[in-house]
């Protein structure tokens, strides 16, 4: 993808999302960047604009709230009629169960369901690009998910921080693989990307035990960790493949659950049902 175009980056107020947005903006892309925290988003916008050689639009939204996400999708549709790259990067781990006003686990909605809705609403813009790319930031934590509880998909009745995080990261990979099939006719390329351990604000809301463990690990800078993500978004080579799981810059086989096509199809169906239940 040698040309520049329009890129939507979620989770762009910090970490690798902000670094990817800055890199694309410096290349001359029209960057539409999303953040949840108003102050952090404003600060990130200033950083992105400082290096930008193209247009920058910043939007505030909590992807865990589907009504907010739908409104953001409408706002984005007014900003552009074409999206060449969508980096579904927002997400994270929570230390406790939070059920939104729409009845969803905020972790499940913020990491998976909000992006699912965003892609549905912006499909016309993705199709218009002819060869759009949708890259989802996941984690190697998805390997620790050993089963999907379809009768309690969001684990609300038996919630655990670690189990929830591993599940939603598995959902990122399943979504990637299913979108690769459903979007192929429209030229949509998809990838799921594990950045590795990153020195960011990821640990801000995690359980104390997780924070203590991560403090023992060697962390990359967000700028370094974002490089494979930028490559997936912009390189010609990455556009020749689709539906893959990447560990940094290496394509690897994901969790066996993620390779089960029936799981990918069912997650899509169940996610669509959750959107319908919420009125979308």
Sequence-separated contacts (24+) of 246-249 with Cβ below 8 Å: 246/191, 246/192, 246/193, 246/194, 247/140, 247/194, 247/196, 248/194, 248/195, 248/196
Cα-Cα-Cα-Cα dihedral sign, residues 128, 130, 131, 137: positive
Residue labelled with tokens 């930008």? 52
- For residues 11 and 195, give the distance between their C-alpha atoms in angstroms, rounded to a whole number: 14
Catalytic residues: 165
Q: What is the pLDDT of residues 216-263, one digit of tens each?
A: 666 679 999 999 999 999 999 999 999 999 999 999 999 999 999 999
- Find the mean pLDDT for residues 176-181: 98
- For residues 233 and 227, give the distance between their C-alpha atoms in angstroms, rounded to a whole number: 10
Q: How many CB atoms lie within 10 A of CB 61?
A: 22
- For residues 3 and 75, give the distance between their C-alpha atoms in angstroms, rounded to a whole number: 25
Domain 6-277: give its CATH code.
Answer: 3.40.50.720
Helix, coil or strand: residue 239: helix
Q: Find how far residue 51's CA is from the centre of its chain.
A: 23
- Find the mean pLDDT for residues 269-275: 98
Check residues 45 and 204 and name the one with the higher pLDDT: 45
- Per-residue pLDDT band for 193 (boundaries 50, 70, 90) equals very high
Q: How many CB atoms lie within 10 A of CB 30?
A: 21
pLDDT at 212 over 60: no
Could you tell me the pTM of the whole model?
0.93
% of the chain surpassing 70 pLDDT: 91
- For residues 249 and 265, give the distance between their C-alpha atoms in angstroms, rounded to a whole number: 27
- Per-residue pLDDT band for 214 (boundaries 50, 70, 90) equals low
- The per-residue pLDDT for 3 is 80
């Amino acid at each position: 993808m040698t040309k520049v175009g329009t890129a939507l980056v979620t989770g762009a107020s910090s970490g690798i999302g902000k670094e990817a947005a800055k890199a694309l903006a410096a290349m001359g892309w029209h960057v539409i960047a999303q953040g949840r925290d108003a102050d952090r988003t404003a600060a990130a916008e200033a950083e992105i604009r400082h290096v930008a050689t193209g247009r920058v639009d910043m939007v505030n939204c909590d992807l865990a709230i589907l009504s907010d996400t739908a409104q953001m999708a409408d706002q984005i549709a007014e900003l552009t009629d074409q999206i060449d790259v969508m980096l579904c990067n927002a997400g994270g781990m929570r230390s406790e169960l939070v059920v939104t006003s729409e009845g969803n686990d905020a972790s499940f909605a913020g990491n998976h369901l909000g992006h699912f809705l965003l892609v549905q609403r912006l499909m016309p813009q993705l199709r218009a690009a002819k060869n759009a790319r949708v890259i989802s930031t996941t984690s190697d934590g998805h390997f620790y998910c050993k089963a999907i509880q379809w009768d309690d998909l969001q684990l609300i009745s038996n919630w655990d921080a670690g189990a929830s995080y591993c599940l939603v990261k598995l959902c990122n990979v399943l979504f990637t693989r299913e979108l690769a099939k459903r979007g192929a006719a429209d030229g949509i390329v998809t990838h799921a990307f594990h950045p590795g351990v990153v020195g960011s604000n990821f640990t801000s809301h995690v359980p104390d035990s997780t924070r203590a463990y991560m403090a023992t690990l060697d962390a990359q800078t967000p700028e370094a960790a974002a490089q494979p993500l930028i490559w997936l978004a912009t390189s010609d080579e990455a556009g020749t493949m689709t539906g893959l799981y990447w560990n940094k810059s290496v394509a690897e086989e994901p969790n066996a659950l993620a390779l089960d096509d029936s799981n990918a199809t069912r997650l899509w169906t169940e996610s669509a049902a959750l959107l319908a239940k919420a009125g979308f």
